Amino acid sequence: MIPSASIILWTKGKILMMKRGGKMSFFPNSWVFPGGKLEKEPIQGYKGDEIVFKERGLQELYEEVGIIPTEPPIIHETREESVNHVIDADTKQEIFKRMKFMGRRQTPPFSSRIYDAAYFLLNVKEEIEPRPDGIEATEAQWVTPEQMLEKWKKGQIIVPPPIVRLLKLLTLPIEKAIQESLKDMNKPIGVQTPIEFADGVELVPLSANTAKPFKHTNLTLFRGDKKTLIVDPGWNSEATNSDAILDTIKTEELLVFLTHHHKDHVNALDIIEKRFPHALLYAHPFTLERIETGLKSQKVEKGTIDLEKDGEKWPIRIIGLPGHTKGHMGLHDERNNVVIAGDHVVGRGTALLDPRSGSVADYLKSIEFLLKLKPRLIFPAHGPVIFKPEKTLNYYYKHRMEREQQIIESLQNGNDTVHKIVRDIYRDVSQALWRYAGFNVFLHLKKLMEEGKVKIKGDKEISEENYEIIKFQLVQS
């Protein structure tokens, strides 16, 4: 957990927001409030309103946008190393007294870096001209919460989920906003702050029995006016916030969509069946053949799931994304231009393919399809949101073709089994991941066999049980 602090400057219905630099490691190019991580760890059991948090918030406000909110304010184009070099202790205490604590919010556990941010509201008499430092803050402006939310809903800007929640609260009278924000602190992850990266779409990581390096499967929720659509309920018994998430579903109808049949995507179907016995399940025929459920099911390979939001039509298009498995599917939210990609894309690293029903050839075709679709965001089933889909997809394609060439070269060098090839071309990868790497190597070899470039030595039949020991050789041209 990384503690941090942010300050929300407020005057006459407007707030100061800044755009983070594109080279920042955490939420680059996103619109946030000035703030940053604490240099010293606070004491155990901290609330978040301690002086150490106020000091960090004030320092970051000064560093990032050049503002010290004294009365009258101090504005600096160039900064001293510390705000303490500019104002004395008494002046600093006066600023601290004006800060109103709005509670803490945690970023979701998409990775090991979880930020625990304390937020303070500070009223100023008038708009203070910001001076962005050009690194941590590339832009800064005074806007109403409603203006920022409207731009976010239209997909014109990126706003992290905790900031989206605060912006929505800040449309209320200030004292009411503070009260509601403080109440949020006692709620679990995913409820405390709806993890909303697009309007009406939430992505909640829930503990699941999934492959390394991941520990969670993302449950996606589309919250319509009369229907809620959830994708891939695959959590396990350690997902302590799953009941709280299900409690937030208040619509008349619940729809369930499965991207594919793997256990970490369907494990909680029995819970859904008990809680929502009239829910309707959408899945590919290949997927339905491999799961057990008493829910009413509809076989689909394409089509549209029709939702409504704010009284307007909200079409969610079913798209085929085979490759990770046979029958793997995704969703295209046309309103937000967002793709729900299941295991076709992952938030870190590259996707693994199932040796029993996966296909490298299909996987590459699915990448080409998504590149033509040009989504604004991709929501993977594991790890954080993909904010640069085109860059990620092009990397995936290039990476797979480079691996294929490495496999060919490894065969040329006498490595004639999957195990030997993995040991050769994945020598810089942790051996704990070699088993999974072998899945992809095997499927690349199958593709090369289908293309007539590789064959099996001898007369053995290849299968997912013996693929690691079967010997392969290049076909001489």
pLDDT tens, residue order, the chain (477 aa): 889 999 999 999 999 999 998 777 677 889 999 999 998 878 888 999 999 999 999 999 999 999 999 989 988 877 778 888 899 999 999 999 999 999 999 887 777 678 889 999 999 999 999 999 998 999 999 999 999 999 999 999 999 999 999 999 999 999 999 999 999 988 887 888 889 999 999 999 999 998 877 889 999 999 999 999 999 999 999 998 899 999 999 999 999 999 999 999 999 999 999 999 999 999 999 999 999 999 999 999 999 999 999 999 999 999 999 999 999 999 999 999 999 999 999 988 888 899 999 999 999 999 999 999 999 999 999 999 999 999 999 999 999 999 999 999 999 999 999 999 999 999 888 888 888 889 899 999 999 999 999 999 877 777 767 777 789 999 986
Give the pLDDT score at 428.
87
What CA–CA distance (Å, rounded) separates 219 from 381? 7
User: Distance between CA atoms of 270 and 342, rounded to whole angstroms?
Assistant: 20
Say if domain 2-143 classifies as CATH 3.90.79.10.
Answer: yes
Query: Cβ distance 355 to 246 under 8 Å?
Result: no
Beta-sheet pairing, 472-474 with 2-11: unpaired
pLDDT of residue 190: 83
From the candidate CATH numbers 3.40.50.150, 3.60.15.10, 3.30.70.141, 2.60.40.420, the one assigned to the domain spanning 196-387: 3.60.15.10
Two tokens, residue 434: 């070699």
What pTM was computed for the model?
Answer: 0.91
Determine the pLDDT at residue 238: 92
Domain extents in the chain:
2-143, 196-387, 401-474
Alpha helices in 114-262 (DSSP H): 145-153, 161-169, 174-184, 242-247
pLDDT tens per residue, range 105-143? 988 777 767 888 999 999 999 999 999 999 899 999 999
Burial class (CB in 10 A: 0-12, 13-18, 19+), 398: exposed
Instruction: Write the CB contacts of 27 (distance below 8 Å, at least 6 apart in sequence).
Output: 20, 158, 160
- pLDDT at residue 31, as a whole number: 96
Q: What is the pLDDT of residue 327?
A: 97
Spatial distance between the Cα atoms of 59 and 51, rounded to a whole number of angstroms: 12
Helix H segments across 103-260? 145-153, 161-169, 174-184, 242-247
Q: What's the pLDDT score for residue 277?
A: 96
Alpha helices by DSSP H, 154-219: 161-169, 174-184
State residue 213's pLDDT score.
Answer: 79
What confidence score (pLDDT) does residue 353 get?
93
Say if domain 401-474 classifies as CATH 1.20.150.20.
no
Query: How far is Cα 184 from Cα 6, in angstroms, rounded to an integer?
Result: 17
